[in-house]
Amino acid sequence: MTGATHARRVFSGVQPTGGLTLGNYLGAVKRFVAIQEDEAWETLYCIVDLHAITASWPGREGMRRATREMAAAFIACGLDPARSILFNQSQVPAHAELAWIFNCVARMGWLNRMTQFKEKAGKDREAASVGLFAYPNLMAADILVYHATHVPVGEDQKQHLELARDIAQKFNNDFDAPDFFPLPEPMIEGAATRVMSLRDGTKKMSKSDPSDMSRINLTDDADTIALKIRKAKTDPDPLPDSPEGLEGRPEARNLVNIYAALADRSPAEVLAEFAGQPFSAFKPRLAELTVATITPISARMRELLAGPEEIDRILSEGAARAAAIAGPILARTHEIIGFIRSR
Ligand code: TYM
């Protein structure tokens, strides 16, 4: 009855909060672009504005600016709106509608275990929004409303993806619809699945870190990037000759991984080149490579942001294409549950 056939369909999302970091770029967007280049995949990339209001609101204008900046960043990084479906989440109501159904499938106990909720809610959980708690259900809906089969993300989203698989499975069981929702596969690959803070190699590089020196933003200019890398925390030893030598040296490992991901090389290859050299020799080369990658992206972003109407048009067109895929899947979901709908 449900007999879903699943294409190789990729979905991923990024929150429009405070611009893209090098972590988002290497862990996610650079890979989105690489996947788009492969014709075998259908790709949907979403600016998840509904998720962005779970913790705070940047104001009406701030919200619009952040969404357009994220769209411009995607396009400047190489996402082609003709090949990939690029849109903002709130323009496709099917996400929120399926999320409600998933609120009734996921268990409180499952959500209570989410480490990201614990981190973001901090000590005062009573004051966290219900949206922040139910955030992973909306994320599962984002993916499953397209029957997406693969989800490229950084390491920090792994637990949320496992939950999405649990929700898919439980829906299929509870509503007697074997195989209706596919179990989406995480794609967590490459040297940069977890880019760390430049100030503390045990903490993730994040838009929300209070110190701007901890991260590289795609909008940073060449001098700022060079300064941040020069000041990045390291240890006094020279670089080892193999990745095993990075054990217990989180800051060194992070810089090597960043270099490898930017250069499309493996950490072993990078170390083969820099073995025995001090950070004073490695850091300028890393800065050069980072600037060479980011400067053209930020220049293109500025050009795109000069024409916000064109960005809005691209997002609306993407939303219409996305809605055309999601609509029939949501309709089938309603039929499976037994909701009456007029035809
Ligand atoms: P967000 O907006 O925090 O991050 C977007 C993407 O960037 C990755 N990322 C990193 N990768 C490596 N190193 C880092 N330091 C780093 N920081 C962030 C994230 O893993 C992510 O892939 N919940 C998601 C957004 C979302 C989503 C979805 C993702 C909503 N619905 C459906 C996939 C599918 C989030 O907050 O990502």
Q: What local confidence, expressed as pLDDT, does residue 17 receive?
A: 86
Q: Whose CA is nearest to atom 19 of ligand 1?
A: 154
Express each pLDDT in 235-268 by its tens digit.
999 999 999 999 999 999 999 999 999 999 999 9
For residue 14, the CA-to-ligand 1 centroid distance in Å is 5
Q: What local confidence, expressed as pLDDT, does residue 335 receive?
A: 97
Contacting residues for 258 by C-beta, under 8 A, at least 6 apart:
22, 26, 192, 195, 286, 290
Q: Which residues pair with 152 in a beta bridge?
A: 187
Express each pLDDT in 29-52 by its tens digit.
999 999 999 989 999 999 999 999
Q: What average pLDDT does the chain have?
A: 95
Contacting residues for 29 by C-beta, under 8 A, at least 6 apart:
14, 20, 73, 74, 77, 79
Q: What span, in angstroms and rounded, lies between the C-alpha atoms of 146 and 11?
A: 8
Express each pLDDT in 123-181 by its tens digit.
999 999 999 999 999 999 999 999 999 999 999 999 999 999 999 999 999 999 999 99
Homologous superfamily of 9-187+307-337: HUPs (3.40.50.620)
CA 51 to chain centroid, in Å, comes to 12
Q: Which residues are catalytic?
A: 120, 204, 207
Statement: residue 4 has pLDDT above 70: no
Q: Which atom of ligand 1 is nearest to the CA of 153?
A: 22
Pick from 147, 156, 194 the residue to mutate for probing ligand 1's pocket: most ligand atoms within 8 Å of its CB: 156
Q: What span, in angstroms and rounded, lies between the C-alpha atoms of 68 and 321?
A: 19
Q: What span, in angstroms and rounded, lies between the C-alpha atoms of 31 and 52?
A: 22
Give the architecture (CATH level 2) of 212-302: Orthogonal Bundle (1.10)
Express each pLDDT in 214-225 by its tens digit.
999 999 999 999
Statement: residue 7 has pLDDT above 80: no
Contact 26, 258 (CB under 8 A): yes
Statement: residue 3 has pLDDT above 50: no
Mean pLDDT computed over 276-304: 97
Q: Which residues line ligand 1 (CB under 6 A)?
A: 11-15, 23-24, 27-28, 48, 51, 139, 142-143, 151, 153-154, 156-157, 160, 192-195, 204-205
9-187+307-337 shares its CATH topology with 212-302: no
Mean pLDDT computed over 87-101: 98
For residue 308, the CA-to-ligand 1 centroid distance in Å is 24
Mean pLDDT computed over 189-198: 94
Using CA of residue 9, residue 10, residue 15, residue 16, what is the dihedral sign?
negative
Statement: residue 343 has pLDDT above 70: no
Contacting residues for 211 by C-beta, under 8 A, at least 6 apart:
199
SS3 12: strand
DSSP label of 41: -
For residue 336, the CA-to-ligand 1 centroid distance in Å is 31
Q: How many CA atoms within 13 Å lie on the side-chain side of 258?
A: 33
Q: What local confidence, expressed as pLDDT, does residue 19 receive?
A: 81
For residue 155, the CA-to-ligand 1 centroid distance in Å is 9
What are the residue ranges spanned by the domains of the chain?
9-187+307-337, 212-302
Q: Which atom of ligand 1 is nearest to the CA of 192?
A: 12
Statement: residue 1 has pLDDT above 70: no
pTM: 0.95
Statement: residue 74 has pLDDT above 50: yes
Q: What local confidence, expressed as pLDDT, does residue 341 receive?
A: 82
Contact 110, 165 (CB under 8 A): no
Q: What local confidence, expressed as pLDDT, does residue 2 receive?
A: 43
